[in-house]
Structure 1
Amino acid sequence: MAVERGTVELGVLIYQGAQLAAVHGLTDLFEVANRIAAEHRTVQLPLLRVSHWQVDAHGTPARAFDSRPGPDQPMMALLVPPSIGEFTEDQAPPALLEWIRQQHAAGTVIGGVCIGSIMLARSGLLDGRSATTHWSSSKSFAAHYPAVRLEADKPIVDDGDLITTAGLMAWSELGLRLVDRLMGPSVAADTARFLVIEHSDSSSQCGSNFAPILRHGDSAILKVQHWLQASGAVDVGVAAMAREANLEERTFLRRFRNATGLKPTEYCQHLRVGKARQMLEFTNGTIDHIAWTVGYQDPSAFRATFKKITGLAPSDYRNRFGV
């Protein structure tokens, strides 16, 4: 007897001027991934449930489409698609921005494509965080949102709980990034191959980039996770994390591992290596400089940790996957 697959909901926002090709393209991409995942008999993979959230005249999103109607469930991710036109104030009313903040605070991963990155910046979620956006709006973005660490030379910035992409067509890579997280690199690669779209093969050869568990229901631990993502887990110890969670250290350690499946030290290692992978793929900085940037004072310790997690030395990783 077949075992019923658990569902994971992925929401797509339809705001004024949203590119509908991206909305429906993401919906189709996730459905293709579902079909491919169903063929993997060796492991039980989740079923992707895609919902569309239409913004009404008051700026409040409401569910307008559900690929698998059923009881309400928390969204694993909310994707903000691009717009062909320039960003306008009307596209980001206060009620919508508040709703996006609420989703993030509850543990939803938020992804923004092109103008979607601007919407995330307006919400304040990108303050102190790394992000990218379309090259044509990079100067305006930097001027309007100085609190955001803009990395306009990167096509995608995956900051764990916040993902931003630069191009109008980058919704496909964002979708594949989520398929990779939820179903694994082989399903993501097969989905890209079926759709004949480009996809980085670094995850299929070195494992998926770090995708922290956020929908665990422990608000104190989620607060620490968001704090670690914002700080890059640089120069932080267990005592500081416990203070951020307002918990005694032993209680914090137990709850952190129960929520994330990792010890705090392991979690920080994965987070730092994830950032280093992006820098090796998209920048020309020296390996020692990258090690220092992601929080390692000893480059040899960085190299050892990087190889332990990815299976490759940093230099070999760059040679294979650097743009």
Structure 2
Amino acid sequence: MVGIGLVIYPGAQQAAVLGLTDLFGVANQIVASRQKEQAPALRVTHWQQDNPSHAPNCVFDSCPGDPSKTLSALILPPALNEPNGPSDAPILTAWLRNRHAEGVALGSVCAGAFLLASTGLMDGRRMTTHWSYADLLQQRFPDVSVDADQLIIDDGDIITAGGLMAWTDLGLRLVDRFLGPTVMFETARMLLVDPPGREQRYYSVFSPRLTHGDAAVLKVQHWLQATQAKDVALATLAAQAGLEERTFLRRFQKATGMTTTEYAQRLRVGKARELLQFGNASIDRVAWEVGYSDPGAFRKVFTRIVGLSPSDYRRRFSATPSALKPVS
């Protein structure tokens, strides 16, 4: 049996813990039906601290009759409350580091990334979290490379998943790893969930940094938002800020983490997503509405940022009746 442990830390989402337990249980049933064996392929355990000063104990075991509790992977589920701080659980993070040193793969979902990053194991490495937590994770752990465009990042010994419901993606990724793609796809089909391969940027909303403290840059950000970034000429933006052009560019990138071009593109694409989701205008018309005179350039920028073409995005997320959608 392959041992997979779920860590129930303070604030952990119980729905994800139970959902993952069920997902692995479904995978076990599929394996049993194929091999006509009664012994489960995956053993699921839950680990929880009785006391913050003690290491976690096993509080649930799907195979209690087997004395061995060898682990192949440990998962930190999402949380619904404020993410853990760097020093909230020193005993737990030390325990995770020790398990990793023994060869146990570690995984996190959504806000579980903060606890994983607290171990120090992610320094100099790439990880993902929920897109709304990306800036906070980067601020708390500057040595970590946060890539919130990805729904799941699998580095072998560490796997991180982004969204609150991305525990399904992480669970299926582990089923694929330990039991193979056929069992993984059958498990996904049984649960009526998409197999791994989605990207978080399909769903994320652009959330600009507004708390950087640079009043001149903030003024320009508000102006760009109000005008839907229709005019992004450097001279215009610098004049809005009341700064010399080179000074403005340097301060804008420092405050927002983006160039003015990247920032404007994300604002325009955000508006385009809204028009595609809730309207019936043609793709060319949407491009014009958000400030692109060249529909081809709009399609390239949209696809690069969102990960889907405008027409694919509309087909997937449109809230309008399909009969009303124009051919694009």
Contact 1:51–1:66 under 8 Å retained in 2: yes
In the other structure, the counterpart of 1:120 is: 116
Q: Percent identity?
A: 48
In the other structure, the counterpart of 1:10 is: 4
Deviations along 1:142-187, one digit per CA (max 9) or x if unpaired, are 1111111111111111111000011000001100000000110010
Shift of 1:57: 2.0
SS of the aligned residue for 1:18 comes to coil
- The one of 31, 36, 43 aligned to 1:37: 31
- The one of 195, 203, 211 aligned to 1:199: 195
TM-score normalised per structure 2: 0.57
Contact 2:86–2:118 under 8 Å retained in 1: no
Contact 1:9–1:48 under 8 Å retained in 2: yes
In the other structure, the counterpart of 1:73 is: 69
Deviations along 1:69-102, one digit per CA (max 9) or x if unpaired, are 1112320000000001111349941100000000
Unaligned runs of 5+ in 1: 1-6, 203-321
Q: 1:194 to 1:56 in 2, by over 3 A?
A: same
SS of the aligned residue for 2:96 comes to helix
Deviations along 1:8-50, one digit per CA (max 9) or x if unpaired, are 1100001111100000000000000000011223999961010
Give the alignment's Cα RMSD to 1 decimal: 2.3
SS of the aligned residue for 2:45 comes to strand
In the other structure, the counterpart of 1:156 is: 152
In the other structure, the counterpart of 1:292 is: none
In the other structure, the counterpart of 1:64 is: 59
SS of the aligned residue for 2:195 comes to coil
Q: Which amino acid aligns with 2:52?
A: H
TM-score normalised per structure 1: 0.58
SS of the aligned residue for 2:115 comes to helix
Instruction: Please give the alpha-carbon distance, in whole angstroms, between the structure 2 residues aligned to 1:200 and 1:105.
Output: 27
Comparing 96-105 with 142-151, which one deviates more in the overlay?
A: 142-151
- The one of 25, 39, 50 aligned to 2:19: 25
- The one of 152, 162, 168 aligned to 2:164: 168
Matched, 1:146 2:142: yes
Shift of 1:140: 1.2
Q: 1:71 to 1:44 in 2, by over 3 A?
A: closer
Q: 1:105 to 1:28 in 2, by over 3 A?
A: same
Instruction: Please give the alpha-carbon distance, in whole angstroms, between the structure 2 residues aligned to 1:108 and 1:97.
Output: 14
Q: 1:92 to 1:30 in 2, by over 3 A?
A: farther
Q: 1:16 to 1:65 in 2, by over 3 A?
A: same
Deviations along 1:252-275, one digit per CA (max 9) or x if unpaired, are xxxxxxxxxxxxxxxxxxxxxxxx
Q: 1:141 to 1:176 in 2, by over 3 A?
A: same
Instruction: Please give the alpha-carbon distance, in whole angstroms, between the structure 1 residues aligned to 2:143 and 2:166.
Output: 24
Question: How many residues are treated as equivalent by the alignment?
Answer: 198
Q: 1:85 to 1:34 in 2, by over 3 A?
A: same
Counterparts of 1:206-285 in structure 2 under 5 Å?
Answer: none
Contact 1:128–1:149 under 8 Å retained in 2: yes
Unaligned runs of 5+ in 2: 199-306, 309-328
Instruction: Please give the alpha-carbon distance, in whole angstroms, between the structure 1 residues aligned to 2:79 and 2:108.
Output: 11
Moved over 4 A (4+): 42-46
Instruction: Please give the alpha-carbon distance, in whole angstroms, between the structure 2 residues aligned to 1:190 and 1:25.
Output: 17
